[in-house]
Amino acid sequence: MKEFVISEAQVETAVLVGLITQTQDERKTNEYLDELAFLAETAGAVVVKRFTQKLPMANSVTYVGKGKLEEIKQYIHDEAEEEREIGMVIFDDELSAKQIRNIEAELKVKILDRTSLILDIFAMRAQTANAKTQVELAQYKYMLPRLQRLWTHLERQGGGSGSGKGGSVGLRGPGETQLEMDRRIILNRMSLLKNRLAEIDKQKATQRKNRGRLIRVALVGYTNVGKSTMMNLLSKSEVFAENKLFATLDTTVRKVIIDNLPFLLSDTVGFIRKLPTDLVDSFKSTLDEVREADLLLHVVDISHPGFEEQIEVVNKTLADIGSGGKPMILIFNKIDAYTYIKKAEDDLTPKTKENLTLEELMRTWMAKMEDSCLFVSARERINIDELKRVVYQKVKELHVQKYPYNDFLYQDYEE
Ligand SMILES: Nc1nc2c(ncn2[C@@H]2O[C@H](COP(=O)(O)OP(=O)(O)OP(=O)(O)O)[C@@H](O)[C@H]2O)c(=O)[nH]1
Ligand SMILES: [Mg+2]
């Protein structure tokens, strides 16, 4: 039964590469690379080194400049000398087929970009038929424009004559045939997957219709902010929550009752920056729950230094899927973990956001959002009664608007 014994899991080592550009300063790049490292860890890799380069924009041939690529190559070589193998190099932005091909030829290790890394995690996390089908479709979507690269690779192994530009001319004929075949196989598979998803969509739509006249509330937010923890807290259910990115991939719906008011609450996939719209599209049926919700609970991790940008990313993604104008309550979670840098009394330079106390931050946001924002800790159960009260009020309001003749639920609450 040897094959069933999982051997000492082999940890893959990874190197990260990011750019500092006109639109992305050094602080931002470092934050993005922190997130990329977290993604890599979630996928099971260990990050051993980061490379950054200042460029006006990404180099269309090799992403980084020639010198930087040489530096990375040298590093991989030196590590190999020390018997430390670098398993992969991960780039923070989506790479084109051409870039991947050129970089791979130079570095000779596995090349990943942010998108393929996220897809890898999605594939690892997918549990339900729905999630699995969506991930597979997204993987093919990613692969299709990069097919040529796979083919070139095969041809190289097959010992195609010549190298570089000279070789590719003579190889054009068989290459295109092979490429066409691969393309057709993939396109067929994609249409099969799309049909399957349409079928699942239909089932889900029927399920949703049968749910009756209840207000639908959806938890949304950046990945790892605590949506599932909050779902568990409100619905007393057991949804998988973990300190990893994309712990949740499919949508869970629970009937929740606060006092005597029942409503439906859904927990769904978290959002992340630099996620290609194509990928978001693949999650259409998962996100239908958000699209059809009456109220959004937008959960924010206030202990994360980049939480304001995360709010923007979520709002933008919501607008992209056509859910921009929905009633929303902003829930700042993890207040137990909030930290700030205290300024010295005699320091007269203006306070930056790193210097704000939780109270100051709360005041700023409350002024901006009026009564639709809250500060809680789902894990430490701070302010949860307040959360329930606010959600109750809002759901009740929406319920009376939407189902005016169906207000029997509130009998106990008639004053
Ligand atoms: N300190 C602190 N940690 C929290 C709090 N709420 C959740 N967490 C932790 O944050 C991590 C992520 O929580 P999840 O509930 O899985 O987050 P999620 O938003 O569902 O994440 P994805 O499904 O991966 O997008 C877990 O380790 C939780 O224990 C909180 O109020 N305070
Ligand atoms: Mg979750």
- pLDDT tens, position by position, 34-93: 999 999 999 999 999 999 999 999 999 999 999 999 999 999 999 999 988 999 999 999
Ligand 1 center from residue 303 Cα (angstroms): 11
This prediction has a pTM of: 0.83
Best of 225, 232, 251, 299 for a ligand 1 pocket test (most atoms within 8 Å of beta carbon)? 225
**Atom number, ligand 1, closest to the C-alpha of residue 223:** 25
Q: What is the pLDDT of residue 166?
A: 38
Q: Which comes out higher in pLDDT, residue 42 or 175?
A: 42
Centre of ligand 1 from the C-alpha of residue 280, in Å: 22
Residue type, 77: H
**From the alpha carbon of 303, which atom of ligand 1 is closest?**
1
Q: How confident is the model over 335-346, as pLDDT tens digits? A: 999 988 877 777
- DSSP-derived 3-state class of residue 81: helix
State the distance from the centre of ligand 1 to the C-alpha of 214, rounded, in angstroms: 27
For residue 227, the ligand closest to its alpha carbon is 1
Between 167 and 124, residue with greater pLDDT: 124
Query: Which pLDDT value is given to residue 176?
Result: 60
pLDDT grade, residue 3 (50/70/90)? very low
User: If you take atom 2 of ligand 1, which residue's CA is the nearest one?
Assistant: 334
205-233 pLDDT, tens digit per residue, is 888 777 778 899 999 999 999 999 999 99
Instruction: State the distance from the centre of ligand 2 to the C-alpha of 248, rounded, in angstroms.
Output: 4
In this predicted structure, what is the pLDDT of residue 18?
Answer: 97
- DSSP calls for 230-267: HHHHHH-------SSTT---S-EEEEEEETTEEEEEEE
Per-state percent for the chain, helix, strand, coil, to nearest 5: 50, 15, 30
* Ligand 1 binding pocket, CB closer than 6 Å: 221, 223-229, 241-243, 245-248, 270, 333-334, 336-337, 377-380
Other Cβ atoms closer than 10 A to 58 = 19
Would you state the pLDDT for residue 10? 61
Residue 397 and residue 327 in contact, taking contact as beta carbons nearer than 8 Å = no
Q: What are phi and psi of 226, to 5 degrees?
A: 115, 20
Cβ neighbourhood burial of 228 (10 Å; 0-12, 13-18, 19+):
buried
- How far, in Å, from the CA of 194 to the mean position of ligand 1? 32
pLDDT (0 to 100) of residue 7: 40
